[in-house]
């Protein structure tokens, strides 16, 4: 079973999963944790972690994935947090910066990607990459 924790994609990964017939056999739940408060309340991401690294960071993405797993009945989780734009970017985290994390088989994997394009393109690329990488990790 899969659980998702989404920020910048706002539920698009869960929607892509549940668009598939039969997804009730493998999709357990999707959590949209758009605000920092939601990340803490829904996924138990420590506020101090967000304060220290920012919401768009490897430690927060990893904590989101781990929180999704801990707060569900799933065995696999994925999480995304990023800057979809058109504003909100910085020199360190420009628009298109996305941190992704996957928890499975007792391990947490994470990576940072930089996607080009407008808000819709960044979000679509994030969904596609998150699911493609999950498929790779599942082997």
Q: Give me the pLDDT at residue 58, please.
A: 98
- In tens, the pLDDT along 44-59 reads 999 999 999 999 999 9
Q: What is the mean pLDDT of residues 89-105?
A: 96
Compute the CA torsion angle 26, 29, 30, 33 (nearest 10 deg).
Answer: -150
Return the structure tokens found at 117.
């394009």
* pLDDT band of 119, cuts 50, 70, 90: very high
Which structural domain, as residue segments, surrounds residue 101? Answer: 2-138
Q: Give me the pLDDT at residue 116, please.
A: 97
Return the structure tokens found at 110.
């994470």
| CATH for 37 | 3.90.950.20
Distance (Å, whole) CA 138 – CA 132: 10
Total structural domains in the chain? 1
Residues contacting residue 44 through CB under 8 Å, at least 6 positions apart: 63, 67, 70, 71
Q: Give me the pLDDT at residue 25, please.
A: 97
């Amino acid at each position: 079973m899969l659980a998702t924790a989404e920020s910048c994609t706002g539920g698009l990964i869960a929607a892509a999963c549940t668009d598939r017939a039969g997804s009730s056999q493998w999709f357990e739940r999707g959590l949209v944790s758009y605000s920092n408060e939601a990340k803490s309340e829904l996924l138990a991401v420590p506020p101090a972690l967000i304060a220290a690294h920012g919401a768009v960071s490897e430690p927060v993405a990893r904590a989101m994935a781990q929180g999704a797993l801990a707060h569900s009945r799933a065995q696999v989780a994925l999480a995304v947090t990023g800057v979809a734009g058109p504003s909100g970017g910085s020199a360190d985290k420009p628009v298109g910066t996305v941190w992704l994390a996957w928890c499975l088989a007792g391990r947490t994997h994470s990576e940072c990607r930089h996607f080009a394009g407008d808000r819709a393109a960044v979000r679509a690329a994030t969904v596609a990459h998150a699911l493609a990488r999950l498929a790779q990790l599942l082997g």
